[in-house]
């Protein structure tokens, strides 16, 4: 069965993936940057390891994008402690990860090379990794198969197998069974995910399985401590401000309409609006849409002095500071739930905010936990957004309870990093 899927993947599936990505790159700068980066990866690695020399202990981590890198980050830093000879390199599939990922524990970042067998063999000859560690889901079959054939340990962590996942459907399950069974060890986020993984694997022998949680909670908590310990004020002392985080174009219409209604209803209400991709044209467009409905927006572009202006509508014009601004707000709406999937809900939760998001939240285990714990709310349209927000504004006690429920999810899930570092080293 494995040989059959290897033939199908290399003879049909991956050539098609490559061809369509090549065509798409003509129209998308993001895809084009990724393709160029993958093409250049072998030469970048050759140059780096020519200088590094052949005697280094090398761990290769792979993250699809920035979100997956945040799962990797604390593990990287934990591994590097006390291991001066360890070299940690990190590959990315997406420009969002490659362009924005930063850590002193990361010795080299690069785009993951193309998954052609000859490319993979050449890369492995160059790098010679002791272990390859994949975050969450972005497994590349040839890299897995060829690495295992060479005796390289392959680890996959922070795995989620949600109910109704395509991975559980009969034909697709067979593909993932072949891939997952070739991995040395797999760590799932929850027991529920472990059950789904066992369903995929069936009787297949191979990986060592563990339930390990999500190390991203540790990163969020660590980064939040400095704000928590500063005089950021109790929830009741904060301005009545709603923050819209990482809003997508697909949800603009009902978000803007709802915020206008709320500002017209509550004279003290302020709105901080952060776009998912805050280009100058997108910012100007949002300003105009609010202006057409009677509200003038101020663009905030500071990266160091983060005290927000008192203007009723502020549009965020920079990236990288959103997590710090949650602490000046009372309610958060996180975007993506009407598009590709909800973005990071952990940062507003640790800042003690009730968190609202659209219906496409099942990509996020954290969003599901927030809902189960009473700190998160799925709002499918403008009416639900308005009704939920009005209840939070009008009932101070209810808002306090939900804010504590949100932060409680973060506190009760911290602590997986040290255990995961230990098993990455020993498995």
Q: Are the C-beta atoms of 142 and 117 separated by less than 8 Å? A: yes
Residue 92's nearest CA partner among 77, 81, 78, 106 is: 106
- Residue 81: the pLDDT is 87
Please measure the distance between the N-terminal and C-terminal CA atoms of the chain and give it in whole angstroms: 27
- Residue 202: the pLDDT is 85
Q: Which is it for the CA torsion 354, 360, 362, 363, positive or negative?
A: negative
Q: Where are the beta strands (DSSP E) in 46-85?
A: 57-63
Region 2-215+415-426: CATH code: 3.40.50.11720
* Tens digit of each residue's pLDDT (9 = 90 or more) over 176-214: 889 999 999 999 998 989 998 998 888 877 799 999 999
Rounded Cα distance between 128 and 117, Å, is 16
Q: Are the C-beta atoms of 88 and 105 separated by less than 8 Å? A: yes
Cβ partners under 8 Å of residue 206, min gap 6? 180, 181, 182, 183, 184
Q: Which CATH architecture has domain 220-411?
A: 3-Layer(aba) Sandwich (3.40)
Average pLDDT, integer, range 260-264:
97
Tokens found for residue 6: 């290897």
Average pLDDT, integer, range 219-247:
78
Q: Higher confidence at residue 266 or residue 168?
A: 266
Q: Are the C-beta atoms of 313 and 290 separated by less than 8 Å? A: yes
Quote the percentage of the chain above a pLDDT of 90: 73
User: How big is the CA angle at 165 (ends 160 and 170), to the nearest 5 degrees?
Assistant: 120
Give whichever of 100-104, 265-269, 339-343 has the largest mean pLDDT. Answer: 265-269
- Facing residues of 209 across strands? 186
- Do the domains at 2-215+415-426 and 220-411 have one common CATH topology? yes
Average pLDDT, integer, range 240-259:
95
Q: Higher confidence at residue 364 or residue 114?
A: 114
* Tens digit of each residue's pLDDT (9 = 90 or more) over 377-418: 999 999 999 999 999 999 999 999 999 999 999 999 998 999
- Residue 231: the pLDDT is 47
* Tens digit of each residue's pLDDT (9 = 90 or more) over 354-376: 999 999 998 888 999 999 999 99
| Structural domain spans, the chain | 2-215+415-426, 220-411
Rounded Cα distance between 227 and 321, Å, is 12
Helix (H, G, I), strand (E, B) or coil at 86: strand
């Amino acid at each position: 069965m494995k040989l059959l899927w290897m033939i199908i993947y290399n003879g049909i599936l991956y050539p098609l993936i490559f061809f369509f990505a090549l065509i798409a790159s003509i129209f998308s700068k993001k895809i084009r940057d990724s393709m160029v980066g993958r093409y250049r990866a072998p030469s970048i690695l050759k140059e780096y390891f020519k200088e590094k020399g052949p005697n280094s202990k090398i761990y290769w981590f792979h993250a699809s994008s920035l979100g997956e890198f945040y799962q990797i980050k604390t593990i990287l830093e934990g591994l590097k402690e006390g291991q001066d000879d360890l070299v940690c390199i990190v590959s990315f599939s997406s420009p969002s990860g490659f362009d924005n990922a930063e850590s002193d524990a990361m010795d080299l970042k690069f785009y993951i090379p193309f998954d052609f067998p000859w490319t993979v063999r050449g890369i492995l000859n160059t790098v010679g990794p002791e272990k390859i560690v994949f975050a969450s889901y972005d497994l590349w079959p040839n890299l897995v198969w060829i690495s295992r054939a060479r005796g390289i340990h392959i680890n996959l962590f922070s795995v989620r197998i949600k109910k109704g996942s395509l991975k559980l459907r009969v034909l697709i399950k067979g593909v993932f069974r072949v891939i997952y069974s070739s991995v040395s060890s797999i760590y799932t986020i929850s027991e529920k995910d472990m059950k789904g993984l066992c369903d995929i694997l069936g009787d297949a022998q191979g990986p060592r399985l563990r339930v390990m949680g999500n190390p991203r909670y540790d990163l969020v908590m660590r980064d939040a401590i400095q704000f928590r310990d500063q005089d950021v004020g109790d929830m009741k002392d904060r301005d009545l401000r709603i923050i819209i985080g990482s809003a997508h174009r697909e949800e603009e219409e009902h978000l803007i309409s709802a915020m206008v209604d709320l500002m017209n209803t509550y004279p003290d209400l302020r709105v901080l609006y952060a776009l998912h991709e805050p280009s100058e044209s997108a910012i100007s467009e949002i300003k105009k849409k609010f202006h057409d409905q009677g509200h003038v927006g101020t663009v905030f572009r500071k990266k160091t002095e983060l005290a927000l202006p008192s203007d009723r509508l502020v549009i965020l014009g920079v990236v990288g500071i959103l997590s710090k601004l949650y602490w000046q707000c009372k309610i958060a709406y996180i975007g993506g739930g009407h598009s590709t999937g909800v973005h990071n809900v952990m940062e507003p939760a640790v800042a003690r905010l009730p968190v609202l998001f659209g219906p496409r939240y099942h990509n996020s285990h954290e969003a599901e936990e927030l809902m189960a714990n009473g700190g998160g709310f799925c709002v499918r349209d403008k009416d639900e957004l308005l009704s939920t927000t009005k209840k939070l504004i009008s009932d101070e006690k209810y808002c306090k309870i939900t804010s504590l429920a949100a932060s409680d999810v973060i506190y009760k899930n911290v602590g997986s990093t040290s255990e995961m570092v230990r098993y990455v080293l020993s498995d």
